[in-house]
């Protein structure tokens, strides 16, 4: 009964247009009414406690770092380096998109921010070179969703706090799957690029390539500093966010000298807005998670799926399918905050590695950001490239298929995630 009340109140509130944060709180109120204990003080306390978390402080700092890198010229230099290395190949700008997206994913961890930056910088180049814009839009969107998987990932921070999983462990476990996502796009683009008739970019002289790499050296050092610091215990994820923001500020102001006061103000403002949205979602989800525990909703789910407890691969496949379907209609952060408190007890009962579950959850939920009807990342690129959603869907399907194939492989062979994670952590 509590499950029906929870889903009915949540989906009903979302269906009439109530913002998801408030819909989550309404579903908590519905569960309170079900057990006959409506207490506004509990709502207020859980809401405040949900946001009162030291690890969550990493989110604004990493978002600030990403905005400062875009405003300070670091992102543009990464594109210049990628053009120098692979721009001359057939379909070379597509490989530039993937390479640039992979590097930028290791800088900010925000899919929307990374995708918007990629689109703004590379859409004009792709259009002027004569690339098919439907496919180009699909490729940029598919590359942008690597950001939540490669550390520092805002998604891993939210999931780690929500499910009480080591954030550093999630960061380390996301490295290889994120690279696999990029490689799957490389394979898909290799097949797709055969249809491209765009002009090939001129090849740079060999003596200019080291210069292009050195130009991006300051940007490339940031992920190395963050991962090394986390791996060797020099700082926590929250402190890593402070280091990233301070580093991006220093490079933009002192090294490249492109970060003006106006750009700095706008970067801080944009990061503040994104932080407010995410933090309210997380706080509201903690209220709902508390009421789920009180009404034993996770226990009911475990009882329902108990026949599959001893078949972890099949169970994981069912979980991934559910995440994918829900991710098609729910945005990224709400998917985490709503589903993780329900699924985590089931994962523990089945003996599935929580870190492996976290990586698979984030990867699958990220793919939902390029699928209709919501597809926030795909919509973002469509707005910048001026391509209709219908056309973009035609262009995105080869890359979507490649990433779904990768998800299936990781479900069948969990060691592809867990073994590399043990190397890094």
Q: Are 366 and 148 in contact (CB under 8 A)?
A: yes
Going by C-alpha positions, the residue among 105, 112, 117 that lies closest to residue 175 is 105
> Looking at the structure, do residues 266 and 410 belong to the same domain, yes or no?
yes
Domain count within the chain: 2
> Looking at the structure, do residues 294 and 360 belong to the same domain, yes or no?
yes
- Which helix or strand (DSSP H or E) is residue 173 part of? helix 167-192
Q: Any residues with CB less than 8 A from the CB of 212 and at least 6 apart, and which?
A: 80, 81, 83, 84, 85, 204
Q: Tell me if 411 is assigned to some domain.
A: yes
* Cβ atoms within 10 Å, residue 228: 10
Q: Tell me if 48 is assigned to some domain.
A: no
> Looking at the structure, do residues 100 and 223 belong to the same domain, yes or no?
yes
> Looking at the structure, do residues 210 and 82 belong to the same domain, yes or no?
yes
Q: Are 307 and 349 in contact (CB under 8 A)?
A: no
Cis peptide before 373 (omega within 30 of 0): yes
Q: Tell me if 167 is assigned to some domain.
A: yes
Distance from C-alpha of 92 to C-alpha of 80, rounded to nearest angstrom: 13
> Looking at the structure, do residues 19 and 113 belong to the same domain, yes or no?
no
> Looking at the structure, do residues 265 and 408 belong to the same domain, yes or no?
yes
Q: Tell me if 46 is assigned to some domain.
A: no
Q: Tell me if 47 is assigned to some domain.
A: no
Range of the structural domain that residue 27 is part of: 1-38
- Which helix or strand (DSSP H or E) is residue 94 part of? helix 92-105
Sign of the CA dihedral running 305, 309, 314, 317: positive
> Looking at the structure, do residues 9 and 141 belong to the same domain, yes or no?
no
- The one-digit pLDDT tens for each residue of the chain (425 residues) are 666 777 787 778 877 878 777 887 888 888 888 877 777 777 788 788 777 777 778 888 888 888 888 788 887 888 878 877 776 677 788 888 898 888 888 876 778 777 888 888 888 888 887 888 888 899 999 999 998 999 888 889 889 988 889 888 999 999 999 999 999 999 999 988 877 666 666 676 777 778 777 878 888 888 888 888 888 888 888 888 889 889 989 988 988 888 888 999 998 998 888 888 888 877 887 787 777 777 776 666 667 777 778 888 998 998 898 888 887 767 777 788 778 888 888 888 888 999 999 999 999 999 988 887 667 788 778 888 888 878 888 889 999 999 999 999 999 999 999 999 888 76
> Looking at the structure, do residues 6 and 82 belong to the same domain, yes or no?
no
> Looking at the structure, do residues 81 and 1 belong to the same domain, yes or no?
no
> Looking at the structure, do residues 23 and 152 belong to the same domain, yes or no?
no
pTM of the model: 0.84
Q: Tell me if 277 is assigned to some domain.
A: yes
Q: Tell me if 108 is assigned to some domain.
A: yes
Q: Tell me if 270 is assigned to some domain.
A: yes
> Looking at the structure, do residues 33 and 99 belong to the same domain, yes or no?
no
Distance from C-alpha of 82 to C-alpha of 86, rounded to nearest angstrom: 6
> Looking at the structure, do residues 13 and 105 belong to the same domain, yes or no?
no
Q: Are 138 and 348 in contact (CB under 8 A)?
A: no
């Amino acid at each position: 009964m509590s499950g029906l009340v929870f889903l009915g109140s949540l989906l009903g509130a979302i269906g009439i247009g109530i913002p998801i944060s408030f819909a989550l709180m309404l579903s908590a109120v519905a569960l309170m009414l079900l057990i006959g204990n409506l207490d506004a003080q509990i709502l207020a306390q859980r809401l405040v406690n949900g946001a009162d978390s030291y690890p969550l402080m990493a989110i604004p700092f990493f978002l600030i770092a990403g905005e400062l890198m875009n405003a300070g010229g670091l992102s543009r230099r990464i594109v210049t380096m990628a053009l120098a290395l692979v721009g001359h190949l057939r379909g070379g700008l597509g490989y530039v998109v993937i390479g640039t997206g992979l590097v930028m994913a290791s800088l900010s961890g925000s899919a929307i921010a990374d995708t918007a930056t990629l689109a703004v910088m590379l859409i004009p180049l792709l259009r002027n070179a004569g690339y098919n814009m439907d496919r180009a839009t699909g490729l940029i969107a598919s590359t942008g969703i690597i950001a939540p998987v490669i550390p520092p990932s805002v998604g891993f921070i939210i999931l780690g706090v929500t499910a009480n999983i080591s954030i550093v462990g999630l960061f380390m476990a996301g490295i290889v799957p994120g690279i696999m996502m990029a490689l799957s796009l490389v394979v898909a683009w290799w097949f797709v690029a055969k249809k491209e008739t765009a002009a090939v970019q001129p090849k740079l002289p060999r003596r200019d390539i080291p210069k292009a790499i050195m130009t991006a050296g300051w940007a490339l050092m940031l992920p190395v500093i963050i991962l090394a610091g986390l791996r060797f215990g020099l700082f926590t994820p929250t402190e890593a966010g402070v280091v990233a923001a301070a580093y991006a500020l220093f490079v933009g102001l002192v090294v490249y000298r492109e970060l003006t006061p106006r750009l700095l103000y706008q970067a801080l403002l944009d990061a503040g807005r994104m932080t407010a949205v995410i933090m309210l979602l997380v706080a509201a989800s903690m209220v709902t998670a508390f009421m789920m525990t009180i009404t034993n909703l996770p226990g009911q789910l475990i009882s329902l799926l108990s026949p599959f407890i001893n078949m972890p691969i099949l169970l994981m496949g069912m979980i991934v399918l559910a995440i994918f379907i829900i991710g098609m209609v729910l945005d990224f952060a709400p998917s985490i905050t709503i589903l993780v408190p329900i699924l985590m007890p089931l994962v523990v009962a089945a003996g599935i590695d929580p870190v492996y579950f976290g990586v698979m959850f984030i990867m699958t939920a990220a793919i939902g950001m390029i699928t209709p009807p919501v597809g926030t990342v795909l919509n973002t690129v469509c707005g910048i490239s001026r391509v209709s959603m219908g056309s973009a869907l035609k262009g995105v399907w080869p890359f979507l298929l490649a990433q779904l194939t990768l998800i299936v492989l990781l479900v069948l062979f969990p060691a592809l995630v867990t073994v590399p994670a043990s190397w890094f952590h």
